[in-house]
Amino acid sequence: MDEIVKAALKKWPNVPHCVGWLAVDARGDWYMRDERVQAAGAFPQVKGSRITHDKLREFIHRNYEHDADGAWFFQNGPQRVYVELEAAPWVLRVRAPQGADEAAEVQTHSGLPATVSATWIDDAGRLFAETPLGFAVVHPQDMHDASALLEGGTWPAPQPLAFSEMPQRFGYRLSPQAQPR
């Protein structure tokens, strides 16, 4: 967490939380969801405005965390902005080795390096992974490289698991507005 954010939390400890205004999709793209967008429908059916400003995305990434109930948030100064998730808290970007002397590159949508300890396939054919950072979905554009890591034995073989079971099993909430388990 940024030092300026920590200082703001100390200065204004009782700022109300914000819910419904920020979301991350299964590609790791962030979306602002104003009142009009929220009224039009739930995320991800109605996404909102994609955040393209690099500095804002970097600030969100540095201050992205979860609470004890498994709801993910962005700490925006003294205000906690809860995040709607399309699939998982993290989205993995994967690059398989291009040569014998090269290692695979795996990182989250926020640029953090990640290692994969287990994998699952959901009922829609999406690949998910357990990492030390938390549960993740593999970016759809990286499935070719992820398949190479699975076939080569770098990652363990995926087990089938219904998407509806994943949040409870891995301790996260798709919507912070939903009741904790």
Arithmetic mean of pLDDT, 77-101: 89
How would you list the strands of the sheet with 159-160, edge to edge?
105-108, 90-95, 134-138, 127-131, 118-121, 159-160
Q: Are residues 120 and 61 in the same domain?
A: no
Q: Determine the Cα–Cα distance for residues 75 and 64; give it in Å rounded to an integer.
A: 7
| Domain end residue (candidates: 49, 66, 85) | 85
Arithmetic mean of pLDDT, 2-18: 73
Condensed to tens digits (0 to 9), the pLDDT of residues 110-131 reads: 999 999 999 999 999 999 999 9
175 within domain boundaries: no
For residue 116, the tally of other CB atoms under 10 A from its CB is 23
pLDDT-wise least confident of 69-83, 115-129, 134-148, 159-173: 69-83
| Domain end residue (candidates: 36, 62, 85) | 85
Range of the domain at 34: 3-85
Phi then psi dihedrals of residue 132, to 5 deg: -60, -25
Q: What is the pTM of this model?
A: 0.89
> Cβ(138)–Cβ(126) under 8 Å?
yes
Q: What angle do CA 159, 94, 22 make, to 5 degrees?
A: 90
100 alpha-carbon distance from chain centroid: 31
Q: Are residues 22 and 75 in the same domain?
A: yes
| Domain end residue (candidates: 57, 85, 113) | 85
What's the domain count of the chain? 2
Closest CA to 29 of 137, 180, 135: 137
pLDDT-wise least confident of 23-32, 89-98, 125-134, 172-181: 172-181
